[in-house]
Each structure stands twice: as structure tokens, then as C-alpha cells.
Amino acid sequence: MEKVFKALNVHRHNLLSLENVVGVGVGYKETGGKKTEQLAVTVLVKKKVAPQRLNSTHCVPQMLSGTVTDVIEIGEVTLLSRLDRLRPAQPGMSIGHYRITAGTFGAVVKDKKTGQPLILSNNHVLANITNGKDGRAQIGDPVYQPGKYDGGTSEDTIARLERFVPIYHDWSPITCAYAQAVERSFNFWLRKIKPDYEIRFFKKADAENLVDAAVARPTDGASISEEIMELGRVQGITEPQVGMKVLKSGRTSGVTSGEIRVLKASIKVLMGDVGFALFSDQFVTSPMGQPGDSGSLVLTEDMKAVGLLAAGSDSATICGRIQNVLDLLRISL
């Protein structure tokens, strides 16, 4: 091992100066696409080129200081922006219903009935804060990656809205025919004295919300990856506990960590232009998210899913329990 690292240090700068080379390191030599047990000085190139097509001074020697070399093609290396279009797209990147700005692609999940892969995020990210009766979203609506705010257009449609957990607001427009008739009567007389004014009746909602969650069906299964950006694969699920260290990978603030401070919380959340909604059975962490991070999967340090990030403030982040998300959407991780 020491001999291989010594060879790397001696030849690193010369190798990096070669045409087509983008990196060097140490790894197990690969032969015929299979890893061997022989350590090698590994040379990473944009594209493998036959030796006869290269100037002899830019060919990688088969041996360096008595150590075998290996050449691996990895392409051009660039920064992976969470706001760019990427296929396959990874959880942690920008995504959104075609009518919203942008949120976070939370995770790849499976439909319990069909086994098909689905994209998980918030209702307010994939379904425009709908309760299912307000016309804000419909099953089959396009979902862009990246989200509209980050430049996404219809050409960037990565999925279609599959289903959602309705969000019930504190107050909702009335549907009672009698109340609607009274409202019309009030407005008829009001317009005679105040033509610029109008009265609207609203009904106070009785229902509480457990999660802010929805799933979308990818237009192509190959267009998404299960690897959460900068974190890796999910290793199961677990229940939140006070004091538990957690982390997330989100569109805006990337990978951040926090600590669970409160369990079984009931919290009033301002849901943009539709007003407040009451969420129960939430857990609260120290601040670990910013606008645009909504929809991020919240994980333990050993990569077990514990919740779905939904809202927050400058001093706290609000998350729904992952088990509630899975049960209500009929999905599995």
C-alpha cells in the first residue's frame, strides 16, 4: 500500500498535465470491467483513447515506479448544481408542480400496490397546496425538474402528479347552498352603497393535517436516481426521538444537520396565499432548512428516514413523521 501511495505522490503532477486526464488516485485495478485485488495508480480521464491516437508523450505508462497503472473513463467533471436539469435526477435537487416556484425532490419511493417507483415531496411542492376540491392541482399535472423558479419549463417535465394527501386549511370557501344564497343576497345590497366591496363567507375547517406530502410518477424510470445528493441511499426508516441527530439534503441549503427538539407537536403553518393550516403529530428540529428545502427527506446519521421536511422559521424546522407519510400515500421506502 505504501509503495502505491509513494508512486502516486511522485508522478501526480506529471499525470495531471497529460491531455485528457482529469484526476489521479489509488484504487483496485479493473480488468474487463471487473475489480481485481491489485492496487494501482488510477488515472481518471475524460474519455478513453487508443494509444495510437495519442501523442506518445501523453500516453499513461503501464507501470510507474514499479506500480501498475489503471485508466478509468469518468467524463468531464463539473459542479453538480441542485438547480440544474439533471437526468437521472437525484433527491435533494430542485423540483416542482408547474404552477409553483420550486421545492426539493425528497426521495424515490415505491407504490405499495404496483411496485412502481415514485417521486416523493410535499403536497405544496408537487400539488400546489391542494385539498383536492379547489382546482389548484389535478392528477396528471406536470412536474418540472428543475422547478419553474429555477428555469424549468414543459420541456423539463420529469413526472406527473400521481396522488397527494389533501391539505385542509383553517378556513375554506363555503359549499353550503343556503350560505351561498345568503352571501349573494348580502352582496346584492352591498353593491348599491359600496360597489367596490364584496362579502365572502368561509367555513372553519374541523380536520387537522398529519403530513404535507404527495408523489409523482416519473415519465421514465431511468430519469431518476435513488441516491440522495451528497448523502447516498436510504437504509430504512425509524421513529423520531427527542435529542436525535438528523440531516437532510435540500435544494437551497444543501446538506445540513440538526437535532430533534419536540415531538407530537401541533403547529399552525402559513400556507402562502391559502392561509393557515393546522398540522398535528409533527416533530420540530433546530433550524436546518431554508425556503426551497421543503420536501427534503429527513434522515438519521445512519441514513434511516425519520420524516419529511415541510416548513420552518429562522429558529426551527417542522417535519411530518415518515410513517404517516408512507401510510397515507400507500408507499414504501
DSSP letter for 296, please.
P
- Number of other CB atoms surrounding residue 189 within 10 Å: 10
pLDDT above 60 for 5: yes
Query: Any idea which residue has 396522488 for its cell?
Result: 163
Residue type, 171: W
Look at the block and give the residue holding cell 499525470. 15
Under DSSP, is residue 57 helix (H, G, I), strand (E, B) or coil?
Answer: helix
240-278 tens-digit pLDDT: 999 999 999 999 999 999 999 999 998 889 888 888 889
Distance CA 159, CA 230 (A): 23
Round to whole Å and give the CA distance between 244 and 225. Answer: 27
User: What letter does residue 282 receive in the DSSP assignment?
Assistant: E
Is residue 10 classed as helix, strand or coil in its secondary structure?
helix
Domains assigned to the chain? 2-73 (no CATH), 94-169+205-332 (2.40.10.10), 171-204 (no CATH)
Q: What is the pLDDT of residues 300-310, one digit of tens each?
A: 999 999 999 99
pTM reported for the whole predicted model: 0.75
pLDDT score of 78: 58
Statement: residue 195 has pLDDT above 90: no
Q: How many C-alpha atoms does 270 have within 13 Å on its Cβ side?
A: 4
Q: Which of 169-173, 220-224, 226-230, 305-309 has the lowest mean pLDDT?
A: 169-173
Q: Coil, helix or strand for 134? A: coil
Strand partners, 267: 279
Tell me what the mean pLDDT of segment 176-187 comes to: 65
Lowest mean pLDDT among 4-8, 46-50, 135-139, 219-223: 46-50
> Mean per-residue pLDDT for 230-246?
96
Mean pLDDT for 174-178 is 62
The pLDDT of 110-128, averaged and rounded, is 98
CA-closest candidate to residue 302, choices 244, 263, 262: 244
Please report the pLDDT score of residue 238 as a whole number.
Answer: 98
Q: ω into residue 142 within 30 of 0, thus cis?
A: no
Query: Which carries the bigger pLDDT value, residue 196 or residue 148?
Result: 148
Determine whether 75 is exposed, middle or buried from the number of CB atoms within 10 Å of its CB (0-12, 13-18, 19+): exposed
User: Range with the lowest mean pLDDT among 72-76, 135-139, 246-250?
Assistant: 72-76
Whether the predicted pLDDT of 50 surpasses 80: no
Kindly give, in sequence order, each residue whose CB lies less than 8 Å from that of residue 93, ignoring residues fewer than 6 positions away. 82, 83, 84, 86, 104, 105, 145, 146, 229, 251
Cα Rg, the chain, nearest whole Å:
26
Q: What is the mean pLDDT of residues 291-313?
A: 97
Instruction: Tell me the pLDDT band of 34, cut-offs 50, 70 and 90.
Output: confident
Res. 169 pLDDT band, cuts 50 70 90: confident
Decide if pLDDT at 312 tops 70. Answer: yes
Q: What is the mean pLDDT of residues 157-184?
A: 78
Beta strand 171-173 with 34-45 is unpaired
pLDDT at 23 over 90: no
For residue 218, what are the β-bridge partners? Answer: 159
**In 152-283, which ranges are continuous DSSP H helix?**
177-193
Q: What is the DSSP letter of 232?
A: B
CA distance 213 to 149: 20
Predicted local distance difference test score (pLDDT) of residue 201: 52
Average the pLDDT over 23-50 and give the result: 86
User: Does the pLDDT at position 53 exceed 80?
Assistant: no
Q: For strand 67-73 and strand 34-45, is the pairing parallel, antiparallel, or unpaired?
A: parallel
Find out whether 102 and 251 touch, Cβ atoms under 8 Å: yes
Which grid coordinates are listed for 210?
398529519
Average pLDDT estimate for 59-77: 85
Q: Which residues contact 321 (CB under 8 A, 6 or more apart)?
A: 210, 211, 239, 240, 281, 282, 283, 306, 307
Q: Which one is predicted more confidently, 32 or 77?
A: 32
Q: Do residues 130 and 137 make contact, with C-beta atoms less than 8 angstroms apart?
A: yes
Exposed, middle or buried, 49 (CB in 10 Å: 0-12/13-18/19+)? middle
